[in-house]
Amino acid sequence: MKNPLQLEGKTILVTGASSGIGRATAILLSELGARVALVARNEDKLRETLSSMQGGPHWVEPSDLGELERIPAWFSALHGKTGPLDGFVHCAGIFSLMPLRLVTTQHLEAMMRVNFYAAVSLCKEFSRRGTHRPGSSVVFVASVAGLLGVTARAAYSASKGALIAFARSAAIELAKQQIRVNCVAPAFVQTEMYDETAKAFTPERLQALIDSTQPLGLGAPLDVAHAISFLLADTGRWITGSVLAVDGGYSAQ
């Protein structure tokens, strides 16, 4: 019997593949047999990810996704190298703690540009005729902050909430093209982004926060990568427009 989680013969684009959830996802997908196009701004870090991957061929494609006007031409060039894609995972994102009284239009624009606008632009290119295979899957890394209110994260929460709303509508629109669109919504995960957040707390206060909000404790990038691979593979064949909370119980309270 075929393992429905296997991804042999599949080609998948992963943004944010230089660190954290994106890196863990790229490595796991390669272990499951996929060919992976790795995208982030830092080429050296992408090559560090590549050095931990299995199989291939894989492609290192450095790009600043905040430069939205360049995405169509960049995506077209990528497609010329990889051929039609079977999946697209948007892990790239930025984060900052900022009380509402300090939020500016510039801050909002920067947050939305990478977390939301780039995701929409890439999904648009992915859905064009000839760029994807039937039965393909799009997975956006959102956040529980896009589902629940969180202090000092209004802009970040808004960007992730927009991503979730977009995914649901895109799932309906793209179903006729046999493209599934879903989100995963992590809570606190041990990544570089988490380490930056931790600087705002004492170790004791941070541990108390984790203990009080996540019954299963702090997550690891691989925990989220497993959920992403589930949605990309045949195991997610009948799932679209969904948000899978991968949050250690955060949203259950």
Catalytic residue positions?
156
* Helix (H) / strand (E) containing 182: strand 179-186
The bridge status of strand 179-186 relative to strand 59-62 is unpaired
Only one residue has tokens 């859905």, namely: 127
Give the pair of three-digit tokens for residue 27. 């490595």
Give the pair of three-digit tokens for residue 88. 């697209």
Backbone angles phi, psi at 184, to 5 degrees: -110, 145
The angle that helices 118-126 and 71-82 make with each other, rounded to 10 degrees, is 40
CB neighbours (10 Å) of residue 43?
Answer: 14
Tell me the DSSP string of 102-117.
G--HHHHHHHHIIIII
C-alpha 36/C-alpha 15 separation (Å) is 10
